[in-house]
Structure 1
Amino acid sequence: MEKRTKNSVIPTLKYKVARSEKFGRYLQAAKNVAPGEVILREKPVAVGSMTTSKDYVCFACLRLLPKIKKGTQYRCSKCNVAPLCGPACEEQSKQHTSDECEVLKNNKDLLTDKIVDVINVLLPLRLWLLKYKNPELWERIQSMEAHIDERRNTSVWKDTEENVINVMRALRLIPEEDATTECLQQLCGILDVNTFELRPPGGQDGLRLRGLYIEASLMAHDCRTNTHLTVDDNFQLTVYASLPINEGDAILFNYTSSLLGTATRRKHLREGKYFECECSLCRDPYEMGSYMSSILCTRCREGFIGPENPLTINPYGRGIKWQCDKCKRSIGGRLVRATLDITRTLIDNVDDGDVKGLETLLAKLSRSLHQNHFLMLSLKQKLVNVYTKEVSSPNPQKKVMQRMLDMCKEMYNMLEIVEPGISRLKGIMLYEMHLPLVLLANRAYAAREISSMELTSRLEEAGSLLKKSLTMLLLEPTETPEGKLAKRALQELKALNQNIADVKTINTIEDTRAHNKRKSHRNKLKK
């Protein structure tokens, strides 16, 4: 719906800022929103690397740079900006402002050997400079939640003072006033609580970035989100509805990972976002049937054990009980923790490329953990990576293709529970499922194990998986790994449709031959 003024058309926002005792300020749907519909698009206030990074990152485009030797005049090959700025800093991005450039040039002699230190404090520096450049935006940033009282005098507070504030002072990037300390503590709290973790342009591995978005940060949390987020190479964030959202409903985003168990998710939110999650997934001892934290009952060997009180701060502590959903037997949380500690050690020690070792460990752990347990999922992800390489080889083994297909189905079914609707992980999993399905079908037909009609049916099933995958992956920006995967999926769907058409032609020929043969046989009988 649009509102018309005399000279222009202004789109009606699909969200509004609301307030409640539970969420504080949060985004609420201003109208009914369908899955895949854009709720908002937003450019970041600032983007920078994580403060623990040891990488050399271009200030302007935030791509990885090779390590810079002392005294070397180096410029980014992508955007042409020098790591410590200079007279030729003419091709600046929106992330690297003229104010920032001036500060870095003025301190160039001091900063030459401390580029990584500068990179690590770049994000709070960019917010700090807005105080002087854009007072209106600065005021909006200061209104964001920082949980300053909860952070004060904690290890996080001391770490911020040592690794951010003291570093910025030593590099002469900020003044010495005491008020600056409190202000920067607040800014770092705002960054920790409100930023989104981003990938660098081009999807480079091993580099973690954070971006601050004013509007998107107001989305409330739920471990089963109703939104799907994408970010392009210019760091523009797009929020899509992943499920139908009714007018008046909260617009929700998962602040943590859906592939973690309840205790780990809640700990991350408690320590990083300063609240206790009590969503439907966290409240259920068996996580709405996903069993991502459940272990096999050692008594009945049929049921699975979950915490009697999943909202307790430490479900693995002394006196905490876990109960079987079948025989109702209880065991202590400390025994569950011991089981998980042993499991983590076994997973850490297995070689990621050792297929036999991974499969053996998976079989061993399945005698203790639910197949959807978050530690089992981490092991399955390693196996799927290895299987994908094998399936992409010229002559993959049939058993490997079948295992990959079965494992992807298991993981997809689990994701349907924890990530309902549009999901990046589900889109990837659907894509991964189609290839072994096609290869197995073609191989079975070549071995005359199935008819051409059955081959058509299986290929059409693979095609439906690809189409469903594309409904999710086509939302991704084209330059991201998922966007490139979508392009490949489109090409493969075109080839698969042609394959199906060819097989149907064979079906028609075979049907015609069979019909003629039967007709000829009947004619002979009549004679």
Structure 2
Amino acid sequence: MSCRNAHRLNQIVSAFLDRHKLLDPNPSWLIQESSLGGFGVFATRDIEAGEVIFQDFPVILGPRCLPNGPRVCVVCYSNKTLGPCKRVCGLDVCGEECQNSLAHRKECELVRQCSPPGIRIFENLTPIRSLLLDENDKEVVNCLIAHDRDEHGHEVTTLKKLGCQFKEDDEKFMRFVCCVLDANAFEVALEQNNIRGLYPLASLGNHSCAPNSTYVFNKSHHMLVKASLFIPKGSEIFYSYTRLIWGTPSRLYHLYRTKHFVCKCSRCRDPTEFGTYMGGILCKICRGIVVPLNPYKTHARWQCQDCKRVILGKETGELLRLLGVILRDIRQDDFPFMYKFLNGKLRSVVPENNQVAVQVKYKIIKVLGHLYPWNELTEEMLKIKETLCLDLLGLLEQLRCGKSKMRGLLLYELFCCKRESNTRASKGILDPETEGLLKEAASILEYDANAPQEIKCYLDNKTV
């Protein structure tokens, strides 16, 4: 029986969450047909900003397909004290507990059956794991959308080239799983070790570049979806499949290339991106802001909003590509170059909130106080970081991002700036405004396994 109807999807997903003890007795969500096509997740009641909407569990979890990527333990995903499995399956584990875990013993046996000795299959391991799913979990996977283009499923092709052998039905299912993963999997970044997870309920949620929810992953790899804005009853719940600080051309390209759809959300339809001009450039003639006449045709015509001069999208594309190359080549510890670039050449060719400028600002924020220790920051550097935090917080408000994860991280960095200033002024007690920054940051980043350690301690102790 097909499960691609709302009633059956709700049954299957609810049963899956119930098996993992994550089903709320009175859930605030319901899977329904979406006006975007297919299905979506909708609010069954009013949901307040910051409220957890649901928790989800990965039906499949494993390494991302990144050739020459960092190795981690295939059980706990730690990168410490790694060593090869003693049963010679070709996978790395971090110690006796993971070596002897039931999950690894099953996986180890399967890998040794299907792959030649000594073959390293780490980056293509995740689809193999699908062969260990029970029938209930296979039913869950079968209900999810799968990409059907030729470029998907290459992991299985790679495994076969390495000498792995699979039964015909197993190979067919693995290729299907690869297509499902490419369409639905979420990147789970834990302690700098990137893995991917297939979260059934979250997979049914639709995308918007102006989302009303955000998500985090806890230390048990559960995904927690939280409302970033107030969500009225009956509204569809959206999150973003791209970075919030990308401009429209970058977001549209990424979504089309990886997810094979063209986003037509309110932000993408607005050439100004809610007045932020994140995808715009400056006019060479009058220094006005140039935006696309049609955001969906980036290689067509762009026009200056002041002098009305029209230029070809090819010209703006070349400039933005050049700036992107410079951005990628910036050394992470080179604050002087970043700051000079931000206030020099960059300011002469793009608006202050162009995505390249925003990413440079964010890099500077992450460098000052981290690679450059707090006690080594000059008063000027401290003021620069504080100003940039306020700039980006204002940008997120303009983009209508609400209680996004990025807001939480920026609030924490701003709190650290204010605290350092208080310390230098010999003020031992935090003022209510500064402590409020930490409190709000903690409320946003609650449950996030990647939250700063101080945030975790604050949540544990409710004290600074």
Q: What's the TM-score once normalised by structure 1's chain length?
A: 0.75
- Which residue does 1:76 correspond to in 2? 93
Q: Distance in 2 between matches of 1:297 and 1:255?
A: 31
Could you say if the C-alpha distance between residues 304 and 489 of structure 1 is closer, same or farther in structure 2, counting changes exceeding 3 Å?
A: farther
**TM-superposed deviation, 1:330:** 1.9
1:196-254 residue CA offsets vs partner (Å, 9 max, x unmatched): 1102xxx322x321101111110111112111212122211111112111111111111
**TM-superposed deviation, 1:352:** 2.7
1:334-359 residue CA offsets vs partner (Å, 9 max, x unmatched): 11122123323333444332222221
1:404-450 residue CA offsets vs partner (Å, 9 max, x unmatched): 1111111111122336221111111111112333444565x57xxxx
**TM-superposed deviation, 1:281:** 1.0
- Alignment counterpart, residue 436 of structure 2, candidates 440, 464, 473: 464
- Alignment counterpart, residue 455 of structure 2, candidates 486, 490, 502: 486
- What does 1:10-409 correspond to in 2, within 5 Å? 11-54=25-68, 55-64=70-79, 68=83, 76-77=93-94, 80-82=97-99, 89=100, 91-93=101-103, 96=104, 98=106, 100-106=107-113, 110-111=116-117, 113-115=118-120, 117=121, 119-130=122-133, 134-148=134-148, 151-152=149-150, 156-157=151-152, 159-160=154-155, 162-164=157-159, 166-167=161-162, 170-172=163-165, 174-175=166-167, 177=168, 181-199=171-189, 203-205=190-192, 207-301=193-287, 303-312=288-297, 315=298, 317=299, 320-364=300-344, 365-389=346-370, 392-394=373-375, 396-409=377-390
Residue identity opposite 1:52 in structure 2: L
8 Å contact from structure 1 (residues 65, 76) kept in 2: no
Gap regions ≥5 residues in structure 1: 1-8, 83-88, 447-451, 496-527
Q: Higher mean Cα deviation, 73-82 or 262-271? A: 73-82
Name the structure, 1 or 2, with higher relative contact order (CA <8 Å, separation 6+).
2
SS in 2 for 1:246: coil
Q: Distance in 1 between matches of 2:414 and 2:387?
A: 8
8 Å contact from structure 2 (residues 56, 223) kept in 1: yes
8 Å contact from structure 1 (residues 391, 436) kept in 2: no
1:65-113 residue CA offsets vs partner (Å, 9 max, x unmatched): 667579897973456233xxxxxx3x335xx473x343135458x23x2
- What does 1:425-464 correspond to in 2, within 5 Å? 425-440=406-421, 443=424, 459-464=431-436
Could you say if the C-alpha distance between residues 62 and 491 of structure 1 is closer, same or farther in structure 2, counting changes exceeding 3 Å?
A: closer
Q: Higher mean Cα deviation, 232-241 or 383-392? A: 383-392
Residue identity opposite 1:285 in structure 2: P
Structure index of larger Rg: 1
Q: Distance in 2 between matches of 1:46 and 1:432?
A: 34
**TM-superposed deviation, 1:157:** 4.2
Q: Distance in 1 between matches of 2:285 and 2:50?
A: 46
Residue identity opposite 1:103 in structure 2: L
Q: Distance in 2 between matches of 1:493 and 1:136?
A: 41
Could you say if the C-alpha distance between residues 17 and 490 of structure 1 is closer, same or farther in structure 2, counting changes exceeding 3 Å?
A: closer
Gap regions ≥5 residues in structure 2: 1-22
**TM-superposed deviation, 1:333:** 0.9
**TM-superposed deviation, 1:164:** 4.5
8 Å contact from structure 1 (residues 56, 65) kept in 2: no
Q: Higher mean Cα deviation, 266-275 or 340-349? A: 340-349
Whether 2:447 is the aligned partner of 1:476: answer yes
1:48-69 residue CA offsets vs partner (Å, 9 max, x unmatched): 1112243433232233366757
1:250-302 residue CA offsets vs partner (Å, 9 max, x unmatched): 1111111112111111111112112110011111111112221111222222x
Residue identity opposite 1:226 in structure 2: N
Q: Distance in 1 between matches of 2:24 and 2:461?
A: 40
**TM-superposed deviation, 1:158:** 7.5
RMSD, aligned CA:
3.0
- Which residue does 1:503 correspond to in 2? none
Q: Distance in 2 between matches of 1:416 and 1:371?
A: 15
